[in-house]
Amino acid sequence: MRHQLQTSVKKKATNLSLNSELLAEAKHFQINLSATMEKALAEEVRLKKEQQWLQENQSSIQACNDLVEKSGMFSDAYRVF
């Protein structure tokens, strides 16, 4: 399931330090810095959450993989390929 950011959530002003040449180019192309940063930050948070979930569930995933390796899949008898 893909999580969408809620647009109704209150925004908070913040300060960032950015490469001045990159900032000038972004302004030239009329890039919305807030929207761009918000999308990039949301993706970074999503990746970190995914990594955390995989780490927290590593033993369960391995146990499931071991069981499939040992016993096969429940649907093996019904496969046609």
Domain map (residue ranges) of the chain: 20-72
Total-model pTM: 0.71
Distance (Å, whole) CA 24 – CA 34: 15
- Residue 50: name the closest of 39, 58, 40, 60 by CA: 58
Distance (Å, whole) CA 12 – CA 31: 19
pLDDT tier, 3 (very low <50, low <70, confident <90, very high otherwise): low
Helices (H), 1-32: 20-28
Q: In the block, which residue shows the tokens 């990746």?
A: 47
Q: What is the distance in angstroms between the CA of the first residue and the CA of the last residue of the chain? A: 29
Residues 6+ apart with CB under 8 A from 46: 3
Res 7 pLDDT > 80: no
Amino acid at the residue 4: Q
Res 1 pLDDT > 60: no
